[in-house]
Amino acid sequence: MARDWDQARLQRYIDEAIEESLTLEYKSGEALSAANGRRGEIAKDVSAMANSAGGIIIYGIAEHTERELQHRPAGFAPVNRRECSKETLEQIISSNIQPRLSGIKIYPVPLFHNPLDVAYVVYIPQSDTVHQVTFNNKYYKRFNFEAVPMADYEVRDVLNRGTHPIVEPRIGHITQEWVGDVWQWVVPIFAKNQALVVAKDTAVTIEFLDARPENQITAEKFIIKTQPKPLGHAMYIATFPEAIHKGLNKWFGTFRVTTNGPQSLILKIQVFSNGMRAKWWQVKLNLGERGATIQVLDDDYLY
């Protein structure tokens, strides 16, 4: 995976103006400056990702300061290796978050052929326990593109991750092809059990919240359920009655969606499984000339 991260890939995030989301955050290189009190902010941001859905933090890309462009990448703002090495960043994370995070990976990306300019892509897996920032004894989660303190019931929910299934949606590799004078996008849908507890009788629902008349949608394996007015869009349902063990991805179906050109689509995905609190995700598909990217915008429990 390390070789997948290079300057060209990061440039794509900037060129396509991929917004921050529940699982993606941009930080200027200045965020790792010792003069900026980096210890607390790094621990807060990293622990919030682990306590939520996991994700990546990219140190070395600055956000736009204009309000209307907020949360979009403005350009590179490199980290100086002398100011913060990979080893220094690892040490800050490991010494300021308890219990210690496992599975975290840091990928240095050289920039501009300058040996001192670098971006750090920090991969943070979702944790099966809750992590605390040691310098203020607080717990944080991701919400509305930032790290915010967790409520007591949210801390308890995370601690219970090991007692019930955790089935989350996964969108597979999206492909495109010209069909006549339109693009057709193939969007496979999977679900993955993140917990040790086996998931049974799992169902996934999909709603395209902002589809246009030209977005012809066909589904394989999903069944259409008509939504009551005034929603004005269909709900697609697929089920998987067999057991889903930890770490396994199961295919639930595939959508084919046509567009007249680059477009974004907002999906609401709900997952139900025996023994698990039902949950929804809001996901943005950015369908562009050079391919597709996926953003998780928000998630929450249904009840």
Mean pLDDT of all residues in 118-130: 92
In the predicted model, is pLDDT for residue 225 greater than 70?
Answer: yes
Beta strand spans in 45-163 (E): 55-59, 61-63, 73-76, 79-80, 97-98, 105-110, 117-124, 132-133, 138-143, 146-149
How is residue 29 written in tokens? 């290189």
The residue with tokens 């006549």 is 180
Q: Name the pLDDT band for 136 (thresholds 50, 70, 90).
A: very high
- Is residue 2 scored above 70 in pLDDT? no
Question: How much is the CA Rg of the chain, to the nearest whole Å?
Answer: 20
Handedness of CA 104, 110, 115, 120 (dihedral sign): negative
Residue type at 243 in one-letter notation: A
142 has a pLDDT exceeding 70: yes
Are 49 and 23 in contact by the 8 Å Cβ rule? The answer is: yes
Average confidence (pLDDT) over 226-243: 85
Q: With cut-offs at 50, 70 and 90, classify the pLDDT of residue 26.
A: very high
CB atoms within 10 A of CB 300: 9
* Mean pLDDT in residue range 251-276: 95
The answer to whether residues 259 and 214 touch, using CB atoms and an 8 Å cutoff, is: yes
Contacts (Cβ under 8 Å, ≥6 apart) of 85: none
Binned at pLDDT 50, 70 and 90, residue 275 comes out as confident
In this structure, the chain runs to a length of: 303
- Is the pLDDT at 3 greater than 70? The verdict is no
pLDDT at 1: 45
Which residue is listed with tokens 């070789």? 3
* pLDDT (tens digit per residue) in 38-51: 899 999 999 999 99
Q: Is residue 107 predicted with pLDDT exceeding 90?
A: yes
Residue 35 Cα distances to 38, 146, 289, angstroms:
8, 22, 41
Asked whether the bond before 241 is cis by omega within 30 degrees of 0, the reply is: no
54-76 per-residue burial string, b: 16 or more CB within 10 A, e: under 16: bbbbbbbbbbeeeeeeebbbbeb
Distance CA 283, CA 122 (A): 21
Domains and CATH numbers, the chain: 2-163 (3.30.950.30), 167-301 (2.60.40.10)
**Could you give phi then psi for residue 96, rounded to 5 degrees?**
-120, 10
